[in-house]
Homo-oligomer: A and B are copies of this chain.
Amino acid sequence: MAVGDARLVLVAGTTETARIDGISAAGAEPDVLAHTPSADAELLAYGDVVRAPAVPESPTGCPTPALATRAAREVLGFDLTVVDGGLDAQTAAPTVSVGAAPGQDVREPEPVSTAPGAFTAAKRLGARLPEDELVLAETVPGGTTTALAVLTALGEDATVSSSLPENPIERKREVVTEALEASGASEGSFAGDPLGALRYVGDPVLAVVAGLAVGAAGAGTRVTLGGGTQLLAAAAVCRHYGCDAPLRLATTSFLAADVPIREAGADLGLDVAVTDPGFDGVDHVAAERYLAGEAKEGAGMGGALDLAARADALDETRARFLALADALGGEAD
């Protein structure tokens, strides 16, 4: 029985940035993208989609990393809170509101006007959640592009991963350049003003994740940032906000193979944990797609695998993930 132990907090949201051609694989079609965070939240809450139309998968059939997080949850029984970080589609997953709204295109002058308010409400919420440990996670299509923009605006090492095997990093950098220009910002111009970075070149999910982390860490709660470069950007926001508490970043081996996350994490004073779910040699299309570099991370996968590894339950989690992929893959067709 795990109620009362670590809680996974998934921040789910959307932005118009995700509609920019070629930057995200979090859903096969642009019109499906808006449903991906809702679907991920439902998968974590119920083990299946409920209101969302389908289980998110890439064009080649790589299932959402939410299935890995759900698998770990079924094995370990950890509790879940979904925070609305700007959802667009209605979700059957229960959500907590902190006043976030969907983000506009990051190339708009002020794409996230709700960021400061959402950060503050999330900070208060994070400080009051009673668990000993929170694992914070995100699901927001296009989120690595806004993470790149925030890292750049803060003057931090700007390396981000991708849910695509071939990271369209040049396309992202172009978008970030446009985003900074539209807001009258430049590399490092928001150093020390992380709420400004979130508001003018960020996304609402980053604002909520960072607020939760600052609030929880400040209250003495252990904080694990469960994810990749978006969680790294959230950590940068925390540091620029003045939070010098210990923060753990837990990500997947697929993410770590793509970007130097250990070094980037160390630069921000993070304790970085990388977990390999052990897909090598597994004869299953889902495992093969992850080994081919798709998806890599998201919806708390790295954080959930970290919990599983700490409980010595990685093998069981992997088996459950594959079973979920079999059971749910068919529904998406």
Contacts and interface: CB of A to CB of B under 8 A. Distances in A.
Contacts of A77: 1-3, 77
A129 interface: yes
A125 B90 contact: no
Contacts of A90: 97
Interface in A79-97: 79, 81-83, 90-97
Contacts of A82: 94
Contact of A125 (B51, B73, B75): B51
Contact of A47 (B76, B95, B97, B130): B130
A284 interface: no
Given A82-B94, A94-B93, A95-B94, A74 B128 contact: no
Contact of A130 (B3, B48, B81, B96): B48
Interface residues of A, number: 32
B3 A50 contact: no
A36 to B, nearest CB: 18
A94 B74 contact: no
Contacts of A76: 1
A125 B3 CA distance: 25
B93 A50 contact: no
A50 B125 contact: yes
Contacts of A73: 3
A51 B128 contact: yes
Nearest to A80: B94
Contacts of A4: 47, 74
Contacts of A94: 81-83, 93-96
A38 to B, nearest CB: 11
A45 interface: yes
Contacts of A131: 46
Most chain B beta-carbon contacts within 10 A, residue among A47, A92, A97, A131: A92
Interface of A: 1-4, 45-48, 50-51, 73-77, 79, 81-83, 90-97, 125, 128-131
Task: Give me the 3 closest cross-chain CB pairs, A-B, nearest first.
Answer: A94-B94, A1-B77, A50-B128
12 contacts: A1-B74, A1-B77, A2-B77, A3-B47, A3-B74, A3-B77, A45-B81, A46-B130, A50-B128, A90-B97, A92-B96, A92-B125
